[in-house]
């Protein structure tokens, strides 16, 4: 089957929808979509993550075994259409497709934030990233309940708008409890060239079922870069602990202001705890991969 000749994002979405529906004649559409993103994620992973190759190759064969030959042949065409679609520019293409297919009820009522909203939030949150990157060399992003990674894609978009290269200047850790969301996130981050670890797990209990490393995580040597950054962080903390904290006097607050500050502090503490937990999960995965590859002496 020849690869279709498409023009524009709308045409890509329409063609991908048609191909998915063609494969849904004997299967539920939600199952076909889920299998498509998993097969595509497995294909990408098995080109770069040899530590998990055997298990994921077996899973690939298990999935295609449920489809007839003509149906199997459509999956790589779908992948090619998705690659062309994402080449049109930063966007949450799979999240958009998921919502247009009305698959939310099949996946526990999931809803993906429109990319325009994610893009605005990313631009407001990141601000001027040049100074941050000048100090550290890159910015790390942690996203619990990442969905299809629309927010992280928007962060890459925001960095690009500042003439900063996301493939070199950002690293993302994404987590979601839903396997299909994990595959969507991994696939899009991989195809957009974002260095990332996507964790299939529970961001609240920190239970991990598996993890996926994007091609740019591997090709960019991010296991080593993250280990070096962690060593530098620990050194700064060790040196900082020996320095006396500066004295300061807090201004008096009325009861309303005090309550608002307490609530804000609690929210900040909860967000910080989540970010720390995800950072720890990243460190554990990086250490595990390094040990498996024999990088530790």
Q: What is the pLDDT of residues 235-269, one digit of tens each?
A: 888 886 544 444 443 444 455 444 544 554 554 45
In a domain, 25, yes or no: yes
Separation between Cα atoms, residue 62 and residue 52, nearest integer Å: 16
In a domain, 59, yes or no: yes
In a domain, 273, yes or no: no
In a domain, 27, yes or no: yes
In a domain, 64, yes or no: yes
For the chain, state the CA radius of gyration.
Answer: 21
Which ranges in the chain belong to alpha helices (H)? 8-23, 29-48, 53-64, 69-86, 93-100, 115-126, 130-136, 150-161, 166-169, 179-191, 215-219, 222-241, 255-292
Domain count, the chain: 1
Residue range(s) defining the domain that contains residue 43: 8-107
In a domain, 194, yes or no: no
Give tens-digit pLDDT for 20-62.
999 999 999 999 999 999 999 999 999 999 999 999 999 999 9
Separation between Cα atoms, residue 172 and residue 139, nearest integer Å: 9
pLDDT band at residue 12, thresholds of 50, 70 and 90?
Answer: very high
Whether 198 contacts 146, CB under 8 Å: yes
Separation between Cα atoms, residue 38 and residue 283, nearest integer Å: 25
In a domain, 227, yes or no: no
pLDDT score at 72? 97
pTM tops 0.75, yes or no: yes
Q: In this structure, how many other beta carbons lie within 10 angstroms of the beta carbon of residue 62?
A: 9
> What is the 8-class DSSP label of residue 128?
-
Cα torsion through 281, 147, 132, 239, rounded to 10 = -20
């Amino acid at each position: 089957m020849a690869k279709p000749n498409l023009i524009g994002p709308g045409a890509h979405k329409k063609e991908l929808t048609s191909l998915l529906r063609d494969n849904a004649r004997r299967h539920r559409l939600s199952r076909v979509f889920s299998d498509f993103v998993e097969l595509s994620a497995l294909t990408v992973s098995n080109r770069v993550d040899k530590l998990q190759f055997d298990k994921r190759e077996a899973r690939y064969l298990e999935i295609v075994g449920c489809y007839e030959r003509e149906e199997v042949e459509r999956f790589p065409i779908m992948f090619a259409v998705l690659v062309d679609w994402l080449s049109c520019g930063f966007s949450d293409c799979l999240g958009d497709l998921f919502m247009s297919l009305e698959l939310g009820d099949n996946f526990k009522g999931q809803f993906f934030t429109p990319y325009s909203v994610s893009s605005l939030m990313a631009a407001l949150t990141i601000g001027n990233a040049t100074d941050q990157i000048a100090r550290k060399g890159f910015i790390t992003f942690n996203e619990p309940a990442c969905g299809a990674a629309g927010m992280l894609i928007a962060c890459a978009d925001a960095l690009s708008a500042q003439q900063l290269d996301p493939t070199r200047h950002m690293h993302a850790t994404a987590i979601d409890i839903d396997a299909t969301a994990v595959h969507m996130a991994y696939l899009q981050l991989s195809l957009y060239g974002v260095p990332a670890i996507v964790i299939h797990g529970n961001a609240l209990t920190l239970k991990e079922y598996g993890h996926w490393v994007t091609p740019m995580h591997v090709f960019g040597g991010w296991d080593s870069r993250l280990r070096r950054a962690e060593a530098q962080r620990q050194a700064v903390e060790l040196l900082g602990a020996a320095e006396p904290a500066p004295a300061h006097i807090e201004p008096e607050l009325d009861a309303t202001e005090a309550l608002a500050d307490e609530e804000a502090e609690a929210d900040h503490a909860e967000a910080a705890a989540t970010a720390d937990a995800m950072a720890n999960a990243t460190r554990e995965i990086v250490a595990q991969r390094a040990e498996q590859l024999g990088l530790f002496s």
